[in-house]
């Protein structure tokens, strides 16, 4: 039986999330807490993150 391995493997990290934006703002203001209402895994992409995801798919 012949293996059919892909020629290339792409490793992709998620696009920027609203949590990333909130973290950056908290760090800049020297805050101890990040202002997000969702669990980290449920935080939506930021506008930049959505554009990054779209660019990857194009």
Question: pLDDT tier at 7 (50, 70, 90 boundaries)?
Answer: confident
Q: What are phi and psi of 17, to 5 degrees?
A: -105, 165
pLDDT digits (tens, 9 = 90+) for 10-52: 898 889 999 999 999 999 999 999 988 888 889 999 999 999 9
For residue 42, what pLDDT is reported?
A: 92
**What contacts 53, CB < 8 A, 6 or more positions away?**
14, 15, 45
More confident residue, 7 or 18: 18
More confident residue, 1 or 45: 45
């Amino acid at each position: 039986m012949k293996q059919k391995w892909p020629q290339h493997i792409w490793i992709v990290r998620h696009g920027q999330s609203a949590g990333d934006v909130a973290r950056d703002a908290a760090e800049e203001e020297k805050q101890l807490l990040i202002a997000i209402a969702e669990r980290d895994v449920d935080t939506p992409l930021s506008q930049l993150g959505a554009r990054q995801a779209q660019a990857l798919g194009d």
